Structure 1
Amino acid sequence: MLDTTEPDVVLVNPRLWPASGLHRAAALASRLVTVDLGIIVDAATPSELRRTKLLRFAAYIDKRHLSARGLNDILTALFARETKFLTAMSTDRPLVPELSGRELDLLELLASGLESREIARRLRIGERTIKMLIGNVLRRLGAENRAHAVAIACELELISGWEIDA
């Protein structure tokens, strides 16, 4: 038989929900009023961290920078009703991923709204190579799609001439 009491702490990965994951996590948090709800992700982004704080989650944890001892410290803090934000910003590893010059060129062209075929023509490489580069950039930035990658690149100031209001 399952225990029907509410837990003290819940950690969720909002990326398990493909669309509006943080908002679904917020809906879960509103149902678990007495529970501290934390977000655990595999690639932290500055915008997601800001949204997590605005939605008043108890924790935001980047799994890439988490050891067993770190998880223990975070859970101890959460059980003590303390807020905990562990991201790459609080470690020695840089939050800004290293992208090649070609990947940065690609981001600039994506920001201008070009399609893969036109980007391939301008960079003088094959369309398949462009698609592979786009996949690499999406993975490295933790982006869901091209527009999300451009937004993250703007936030991280990886591409010039574009600004996003905070």
Structure 2
Amino acid sequence: MNAAAVRILLCDDHAVVRAGLLALLGGEPGIEVVGEAGSGEEAVTLAARLTPDVVLMDLQLGQGIDGVEATRRIATARTAHVLVLTTYDTDADITRAIEAGATGYLLKAERPEELFAAIRAAAQGRTTLSPPVADRVMARMRHPRPTLTERELDILGQLSGGLGNRDIARALFISEATVKTHLGRIYEKLGVETRAGAVAVAKEQRLLR
């Protein structure tokens, strides 16, 4: 393999997806897959050990830390650039990944040529966004959406599942009083007065994970 090849670490919790990416990237000149990770923790460990140029990162990784947290740790350690490759395109996912330090954000529906180009760009520290993702980023800049904290997003997600305050408190290991406090802040930020209203606005603005 050419010494100048872009060295890639794959991170996806589905073995069949990793196998497909390995086959795809293995046939592209100038790109070398140096490792595979099936979890966020494994990706962080391998990134430190293998020092790839780019980590190709999914966001939802089953048990353990998710792709956003893995991205944050890798970006903080500066062991590699992280290029997100996922099916998730909600505003919450995009914002969290970019804020965590992702160099680029691609959807799995992209053509192979777009993926190859994005990998090479990421290796040079340049940003590539899938068109739908770029559209969302631009729309958010033109029309800023309410900024919710991580805990508020957690509670909003539980709320969308129909859980009451007591069940939300149990699920998140916090008190009911804390849930009520967060709900009040969520209502204020979203400009609503009811649980149903909060969920409706969250869905409309794609705040749910």
TM score, norm. by length of structure 2: 0.40
TM score, norm. by length of structure 1: 0.49
